[in-house]
């Protein structure tokens, strides 16, 4: 290979390496953006628009367990799509979304008390004072159920300021 061809080959190799590294960082930043905390006042799936991953919020009260809702029974409330197991649950939610919807928009109240908005999971839940709370981690739920009043006090104090930082 001539010196001129070696020089061109080295330049192309460097350009290819730069492109590969740049695409890695672009992909990394997109992945980080997808995992970043939600900016909505109600936690929703950013791709489907479903609140609490399509679980029926009324079922936590009526069946004492998380239950998936059906696309046939949907309602729009607070910028989110809510799914229900049946028409009765849908009607109950529409009449009283402040009771059946997860408190603090579905954010973990333990983390809210720490000043952080962390989306709760419909799989880690508790009902306290006849209200539904979702948690991001099982440990948070267990700590909350041991002393809900203390965690709710801290979360209620911090929630208004944190809520203002979330998009409507």
pLDDT of residue 165: 82
> Domain boundary residue among 69, 101, 133?
101
Answer with the one of 83, 101, 119 that is the final residue of a domain: 101
Structural domain span for residue 87 = 43-101
Question: pTM, whole model, 2 decimals?
Answer: 0.75
What CA–CA distance (Å, rounded) separates 100 from 20? 49
34 in any annotated domain: no
> Does 33 reside within a domain?
no
Q: Which residues of the chain carry a pLDDT beneath 70? A: 1-39, 167-168
* pLDDT at residue 2, rounded to an integer: 61
Q: Do 125 and 164 fall within a single domain? A: yes
Locus of tokens 């965690």? 151
58 lies in a domain? yes
Total of domains in the chain: 3
What pLDDT is attached to residue 7? 57
Which of helix, strand or coil describes residue 153? helix
The CA distance from 41 to 165, in Å, is 9
Query: How many whole angstroms separate alpha carbon 49 and alpha carbon 167?
Result: 14
Query: Which two tokens mark 118?
Result: 């962390």
């Amino acid at each position: 290979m001539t010196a001129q061809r070696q020089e061109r080959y080295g330049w192309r190799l460097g350009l290819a390496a730069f492109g590969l590294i740049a695409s890695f960082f672009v992909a990394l930043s997109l992945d980080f953006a997808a995992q970043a905390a939600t900016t909505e006042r109600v936690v929703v799936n950013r791709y489907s628009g479903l609140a609490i991953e399509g679980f029926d919020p009324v079922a936590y009260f009526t069946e004492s367990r998380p239950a998936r809702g059906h696309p046939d029974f949907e309602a729009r409330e607070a910028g989110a799509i809510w799914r229900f197991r049946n028409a009765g649950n849908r009607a109950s939610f529409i009449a009283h979304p402040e009771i059946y919807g997860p408190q603090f928009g579905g954010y973990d109240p333990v983390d809210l008390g720490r000043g952080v908005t962390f989306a709760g999971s419909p799989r880690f839940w508790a009902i306290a004072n006849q209200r539904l709370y979702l948690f991001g981690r099982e440990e948070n739920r267990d700590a909350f159920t041991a002393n809900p009043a203390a965690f709710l006090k801290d979360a209620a104090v911090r929630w208004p300021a944190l809520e203002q930082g979330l998009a409507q």
